[in-house]
Amino acid sequence: MPKGKSRAAYMISAVAEQYAIHPQTLRLYEREGLLKPSRSEGNTRLYTDDDLERLEVILHLTRDLGVNLAGVEIILNMREKMGEMQIQIQEFVSTLNRELAARKARAFATDERTTLIPVINARPPATVTRRKA
């Protein structure tokens, strides 16, 4: 049987060393619900590339911008909701485009005239000039 796509997973010590943070900080982020690493059969925390991207956002917010953990949680939740909304908007636009294309095809197939009437010879009104007496 072919194996599924394998994903890299990093242990807590490797992640802590790579990002110059204490492993307890990573455990705190997990307790606060900011990170959700998977677990091995031996209950070892395993961080995926997605977890590391999220960690980089957390570290940017806390280190560079001075945001506290409560603020980080709010920002991360808002980012997730915005991502979901963006997907919904893209789906709506795709549906709308398909519907408009289908209507256009039906209009041409049935020779319906549903377009606006073009304005021909549209000119600005003539100006009246007065003669001096």
Task: Tell me the per-residue pLDDT of 37-67, one tens digit each, with 9 for 90 and over.
Answer: 999 999 999 999 999 999 999 999 999 999 9
Q: 96 falls in which pLDDT band (50, 70, 90)?
A: very high
DSSP string, the chain: -PPPPP---EEHHHHHHHTT--HHHHHHHHHTTS---EE-TT--EEE-HHHHHHHHHHHIIIIIS---HHHHHHHHHHHHHHHHHHHHHHHHHHHHHHHHHHHHHHHHHTT---SPPPP-S--PPPPP-----
Q: 72 falls in which pLDDT band (50, 70, 90)?
A: very high
Q: What is the pLDDT of residue 132?
A: 63
Q: What is the pLDDT of residue 54?
A: 97
User: Quick one: fold of 10-109?
Assistant: Multidrug-efflux Transporter Regulator; Chain: A; Domain 2 (1.10.1660)
